[in-house]
Amino acid sequence: MFEKNADTATAINRLLARRWSGRAYDRDRGVARNDLVALAEAARWAPSCYGDQPWRFLFWDRNRDEGAWRRAFECLGELNQRWAERAPVLAAVCSDQRFTSNDKPNRWGAYDSGAAAMSLCVQATELGLMVHQMGGFDAERLRAAFSIPDRYAPMAMMTIGYQVDQGAVPADLAGRELAPRQRRPLDESFFDGGWGIPLRR
């Protein structure tokens, strides 16, 4: 399997280093039901403000319901569709915009839902699966297609499946697929004691 481990300043958890958003999915290898449940469990145990658990995840398994998978797929942006069509499972993360307990606006909902999504990604890496999150989708179309209630904001969609060799990616997307993963230097985003003061060893 093609690996794109993160280049880190010091050793980090191997799953965090190994997780990456590839696009080459094995069209013929579905995701076992129990593995999908494990992804959901990992997300379920994420932390959240007041323990409110604002996230809602919708999964579409092509091998169980091709029609529903297709309706979800059609909500993706065109560029995403070009590679996502090989993914056996699609998912969407929605976030409750209000607290369940008191119906007041929850300004941490998106934050918590992102944490749950990341837990899912890490669990997927542990299981040898690859998840690619996407903001490029039509949220209102998704809402209409699957009757998502107004109070839940569709945050992201994702592809889930097994990686296959890079030849599966359309040629014009291969450059991005093979390029080294990059991040801003540590000291540009992580501060120590005051804004802009770089965190150093």
Of 79, 66, 56, residue with least CA distance to 155: 56
Query: Which residue type sits at 27?
Result: R
CB of 102 to ligand FMN, least distance (A): 28
In whole angstroms, what is the distance from residue 78 CA to residue 92 CA? 17
Site mask for ligand FMN (CB under 6 A), range 172-191, x = bound: ---------x----------
Between residues 48 and 80, which has the closer beta carbon with respect to ligand FMN?
A: 80
Q: How many C-beta atoms lie closer than 10 Å to residue 7's C-beta?
A: 10
C-beta closer to ligand FMN: residue 64 or 85:
85
* Smaller CB separation from ligand FMN, 47 or 135: 135
Closest by CA position to 96, among listed 148, 142, 147, 54: 54
96: closest CA among 109, 115, 108? 109
139 touches 65 (CB < 8 A): no
Instruction: Point out which residues pair with 90 in neighbouring strands.
Output: 60, 159
Site map (CB under 6 A) of ligand FMN, residues 41-80, x = contact: ---------------------------------------x
Among 18, 21, 27, 71, binds ligand FMN (CB under 6 A): 21
**Interaction of residue 158 with ligand FMN, rule CB under 6 A:** no
DSSP tally for the chain: helices H, then strands E:
8, 4
Q: Which of 110, 156, 164, 169 touches ligand FMN by CB under 6 A? A: 156
Q: What is the distance between the alpha carbons of residues 60 and 56, in angstroms, rounded to a whole number?
A: 14
- Closest distance of CB 136 from ligand FMN, Å: 3
CB of 155 to ligand FMN, least distance (A): 7
The residues in 124-143 that bind ligand FMN, with binding defined as CB under 6 A, are 133-136
Residues of the shown chain interacting with ligand FMN in the complex, contacts defined by CB under 6 A: 20-21, 80, 133-136, 156, 181
